[in-house]
Structure 1
C-alpha cells in the first residue's frame, strides 16, 4: 500500500484514521483520483491490534468496539466490500454490558430489552425504559440525519421537519431540553431506582462527557438504543484486521496511500488550498484537501497565519482538549475469577457506582488529580472472539477515561506525580486499577502473566489528534460541540480557505469510530452545485 506520492490528484486526504479512510474511499469510488497521506507506517489511526503483552494474546491497542461503525453511513456504503476483503465481526447476542458497584452489586444489560428491564426493581422504571427506547426508535432516522448533516445547512430541514411532524412542537422542545440536560439529571428525572443510572451513566465517558455535562440527556438514550440494536461487535482476530480490510479496499479503488509521510504545510494558490507538502515531497490537489487534524494543528501549524481570519485563528488556539485517557492491557493465564459468575459472559463491564462515583472521578481528573476510585472500563473481547487468547486463558482491555494529562497530585495521596507520567507512575496507577477490578474478582492478580500500559503522553505522542492525551479530538462539552464544532467562528466542515475541508473527531458529529465526518464531506464534494441541480431538474421537463 505504501508508495511514492503522485504529483497531482483530485483530492488529498491528510490523516488515515477512520474518517480519512471513509472520505478517500467514497471519493475514489466516484471516480476521483485520491491520495491518502499518513505520518505512520500503517493507516488506521487509533485502530490496531498486536501481541502487546505475551505471545498468543492479541489486544486491541486503542479502540475496539464497533456499534457506531456498523450503524453509520460508511458501513452502509462499504460494509459489503469490507467483508469481501476479509472483515469479520463477532457480536453479543445475550449479555451486553454490565456495571459492578463498590459494594459488589451487579447490574446487567442484555441485547433483549425485556431481559434487561426484568432486573429493575421499580415497575415504573421498566415502563420508563421501554418508553425511552421506543421514543428514540420512532425518531432514530431523524436524529441520525441531524448527527450526520451540516447543522448550519439546509440538510437539517428534512430531519427537523420529520421530528416536528411526529412529535410536534412539544417533541422538538423535549429534545432541545435533553441537549441542555446532563445525563445524571436526565436519569434522575426518568427513573426512580439506581439500575439505569449505573448501567448508562458510565457510558457517557465514551462520548467524552461526564455525568454532569450538558447533552448527556440526549446521549444516554442514544447509547442504550444503539447497543440494544447493534450489540458490541468486535473484529475477529483483532482490530488490525479491520485496517487490513480497508487497505485492500482502498487499493482496489485506486487510492494512492502514502504512509510514513508527515504533512508539514498545506500549500495555497490564490488563497485556496492547492495541495500539501512535507520534508522533500509535495502533492498537488486539483479539487480539494481534506484534513483530519485538530483546529490548533490546522490553523496554527499547517496554514500560514494570513490564510484564515484572525477570529478563527484565535479560537483555534483556545480549542480545549477533554480529559486524557490511558490504556492497560492484561494477559491472564486463566478465566477471570469474577465473584458474580454472570460477569464472565459480559463483553464490556464498567466498575463504577454510576453517576455518583464517575462524576467524582471526572472532577478529580479535571482538577489535575489521579482519581482515587477511577471508573474502569473492562473489555473482555475474548468472550466474543476466543481466537484472541490461548485456550483456557483470558485477557482484559482496561480503559481509563478520567486521567489528567499533566497530573499535579493524587486524590488518594499515595502516588508521586512530581515527575509526570514516568514508568513508576504508570505502573503505580495501573496497580490501582487492577486492585479495583480484583476487588470483584478475587485471585485475579495471581493470574496475570503480562501487562502493558499506554499513558496519556504516549497516546498524544502516537497521534497528535489526541490533544493533551484526549483520544476524542477535543472536549465535547456543549459549547464546543454540535453547532459549535469545531469552532464557533468556523462551524461545520468547510473552512474559510476555499477547497480546504476539516474532518475528524474534532469536527461534527464528534468522536466515535463511525467515519461520519469523512463520509459526509466526501458526499458534499460529490454533490452537484446548486446551479447544476437546478439545470438537471429543468432539463427533465
Structure 2
C-alpha cells in the first residue's frame, strides 16, 4: 500500500498541473494513469511514415501559455526542455467554398484593415478593447469558483469598470450565440467567417449561447498569444512535465486503472486499483467525467441520490475525428497567402458550420464538414523530413453513432467501420483539394482516427466527445460539472473534481488543476489569470 498527501486520478493536462503545483508546495503526490503513458489527449507519434511527427490529438497551446498554470509553471517547464514555436505574422484564415479568404494577423489592426466596412473595423477593435480593459476581472471569473464569496472581487471589478450597463453587456454576450453576435454587431461577414469555426474548438456551434462571449475571447487570444506549438511535437510537453514531476518527487503510476475511490466516514481517503491501494492523507483529485465519478468510482451511498441522477443525465457533445497526412512537399494553395498560415478553416462561417453541426447532432455525416487544417510545419520544420510537409486535420462535427450520410454517398449501417472512416476522410481531402489542387499528387500516407478510437484512448471522451461533455450554457459556468455542486469541491470531504468536465471547461489550459492546487496549498478560492490585451505577445 502506497501513501501520499494527494492521489490524483488521470494525467491529462489538469492532472499534470495539479501534481506539479502540489509537489512544488511540498506535498507528496501519487499520479494514477490508466494508459501506458501520461498525457490524455497529448501525444506525438509517427502515425504515417518514419520522420513525420504528428500531434495525434491536441496540438495548439494558446490557452496554456495565456493561463495561470503557465504563469506558475512555465519557467520551470522551459528549464526542463519545453520550447515553443510561434508566429508574429498571420495566424489563421478561413476559406469559403467560393474561394473567398479571410485572414487574421497577430496585430488586430492589420486584421481589421481588410474588413470592407469602416464601422466593422471600429466595432472589432472596440470589442477587443473592452475585453482587454476587463480581462483581469473576467480572468478571475473564468479561473475561479463561481459559487464562492471570492467571486465578488472580480464581479465588483467588472462593475467598477463598466457600471451596471457594462456588466449587463457581458451577461448578454454569454446568452448570445456567435451567429447572433456577428449579425448584430457587424455589417460585413469577415468576423463571422473568421471566428465562427473557432467556436468548434470550444465545443460549441455558431448557434449555441455564449458564442458571442467566447468569440471575442478567442479572437483576443489569437492576437495576444498566437498559436504556439511545442518544438519537436506536443510529446515534448510531456517530456518536460515528466522531468519536472521526477525532480519534485511525484510518483507516477501508469498502466494503473482507478477502480474506485475509497471513502471512510464521509471523507475520501484513497484510490483502489485492482489489488493495490493508494492512500491519500489530505486529498483525492479526480480528472474524470461526472458519469465516471458518480456512476462507478464512488461507492453506493457515498453521495446524495440527486447527485447521481444529475450525473446520469450529464450530456455529451458531438464526436470528433483526426486525420494525419504525410506530404512529399508543402501544399500549393490557390491563394498563396495560405501557404504560411498555421491554422486554416474550410468554412463559409456560421452558414456552413451551423449546417454541419446540425447534421452531426442529428446523427448524419455532414455533406460539407468544417475542416481544421493544421500546418504545424510552417512553425516547426523539425516535425517533417527536409522539404516535406504534413497536415493535422480535425473534424469536430461528426456523430458517434452515424444514422446516415447527408450526401447520400457513404454506407453508415455498420457504424464506424474502417471503410466508413476512410470514405469520410476522402471527402475531407477532396474538400481541401478544391482549394489546393496539388494535394492528391503530394499525399504519401493517411492515418484516420475515428470517434470510437478517441473513446478507446481516453475514457473521458464519452461517445467520442473530446471536450468532456456538452458545453451548452446549462452545462457551463455555474452549472459545470453539475447543477447542484457547480464547483470543484465535492460533497465528500477531501475529494476534488477537476478536468474538462469542470469549470472553466475544455481546452488545453490546465486551469481546473491549477485552481484546486491553489486552493489546497494557499486557501485561495480563485486564481487570477494574467492580463491579456490585444497587444500582448508571448513568444516561444
TM-score range with shorter-chain normalisation? over 0.9
SS in 1 for 2:134: helix
Structure 1 residues 417-496: aligned runs within 5 Å: 417-496=412-491
Deviations 1:95-149 (A, max 9, x none): 1100000000111101011211111111111111110110101011111110000
Cα deviation, residue 515, structure 1: 0.3
Residue matched to 2:199: 204
Q: Structure 1 residue aligned with 2:232, among 230, 233, 237?
A: 237
| Equivalent residue in structure 1 for 2:296, among 296, 301, 308 | 301
Determine the structure 2 residue equivalent to 1:37.
32
The match for 2:331 is: 336
Greater CA deviation, 470-479 or 518-527? 518-527
**Equivalent residue for 1:278?**
273
Corresponding residue for residue 499 of structure 2 = 504
Q: 2:87 aligns with which of 79, 85, 92?
A: 92
Instruction: Provide the residue aligned with 1:116 in structure 2.
Output: 111
Cα distance, 1:100–1:528 mapped onto 2, change above 3 Å: closer
Between the two structures, name the one with larger relative contact order (CA 8 Å, sep ≥ 6).
2
1:138 has 2:137 as partner: no
Partner of 1:321: 316
- Aligned partner of 1:261 in structure 2 is 256
Cα shift readout 1:170-228 (whole Å, capped 9, x = no counterpart): 00000010000001001111111111100001000000000000000100100001110
Deviation at 1:525, TM superposition (A): 1.1
Q: Which runs of 5+ in 1 are unaligned?
A: 1-5, 531-541
Aligned partner of 1:401 in structure 2 is 396
Shift of 1:443: 1.8
1:215 aligned residue: 210
1:170-189 → structure 2 map (5 Å cutoff): 170-189=165-184
Which residue of structure 2 aligns with residue 22 of structure 1?
17
- Distance (whole Å) between structure 2 residues aligned to residue 386 and residue 218 of structure 1: 35
In 2, Cα distance between the equivalents of 1:136 and 1:419?
48
Q: Quote the residue 2:373 is aligned against.
A: 378
The structural deviation recorded for 1:278 is 1.0
User: CA, structure 1 residues 189+74, in 2 after alignment: closer, same or farther (shift >3 Å)?
Assistant: same
- Give the distance between the partners of 1:394 and 1:251, measured in 2 at CA: 35
Contact 2:102/2:194, CA 8 A, preserved across alignment: yes
Give the C-alpha shift of residue 426 in structure 1: 0.4
The answer for the alignment partner of 1:162 in structure 2 is: 157
SS of equivalent to 1:402: strand
Q: What is the CA-CA distance between 1:93 and the residue it aligns to? A: 0.9
Aligned partners of 2:264, 2:109: CA distance in 1, in Å? Answer: 60
In 1, Cα distance between equivalents of 2:3 and 2:56: 35
CA–CA distance in structure 2, aligned partners of residues 40 and 273 of structure 1: 23
Partner of 1:3: none
Cα 1:52–1:529 change in 2 (3 A) is closer
Separation in structure 1 between the aligned mates of residue 37 and residue 458 of structure 2, nearest angstrom: 13
Distance 1:261 1:446 in 2: 45
| CA displacement at 1:271 relative to structure 2 | 2.1
In structure 2, the gaps of 5 or more residues are 526-540
Kindly report structure 1 stretches of 4+ aligned residues shifted beyond 4 Å.
none
Partners of 2:127 and 2:354 in 1: CA distance: 23
Between the aligned partners of 1:452 and 1:149, the Cα distance in structure 2 is 39
Give the Cα separation in 2 of the matches to 1:336 and 1:525. Answer: 49
Deviation at 1:335, TM superposition (A): 1.3
149-158 or 371-380, larger mean C-alpha shift: 149-158
- How far is the alpha carbon of 1:267 from its aligned partner? 0.8
SS in 2 for 1:307: coil
- Write the distance in 1 (CA, Å) between the matches of 2:272 and 2:94: 48
Contact 2:518 2:524 in 1 (8 A): no
Match of 2:534 in 1: none
Q: Deviation digits for residues 241-296 of structure 1, max 9, x if unmatched?
A: 00000000011111111111000000111121110011121100011100000001
Q: Tell me how far apart the structure 1 counterparts of residues 121 and 168 of structure 2 sit (CA, whole Å).
A: 24
Q: What residue number does 2:287 align with?
A: 292
TM-score (norm 2): 0.96
Q: Deviations over 1:377-410 (max 9, x none)?
A: 0000000001111111111000000000000000
Measure, in 2, the Cα distance between the counterparts of 1:113 and 1:310.
50
Secondary structure in 2 aligned to 1:464? coil
State the TM-score, normalized to the length of structure 1. 0.96
What pairs up with 1:1-16 in 2 under 5 angstroms?
7-16=2-11
Q: What's the counterpart of residue 349 of structure 1?
A: 344
Instruction: Give the number of aligned pairs.
Output: 525
- The Cα of 1:528 is off from its aligned counterpart by 4.1
Distance 2:37 2:270 in 1: 22
The whole-number CA distance in structure 2 between the counterparts of 1:156 and 1:456 is: 37
Q: Look up the SS of the partner of 1:306 in the other structure.
A: coil
Separation in structure 1 between the aligned mates of residue 62 and residue 478 of structure 2, nearest angstrom: 24
Residue 488 of structure 2 aligns to a residue whose secondary structure is coil
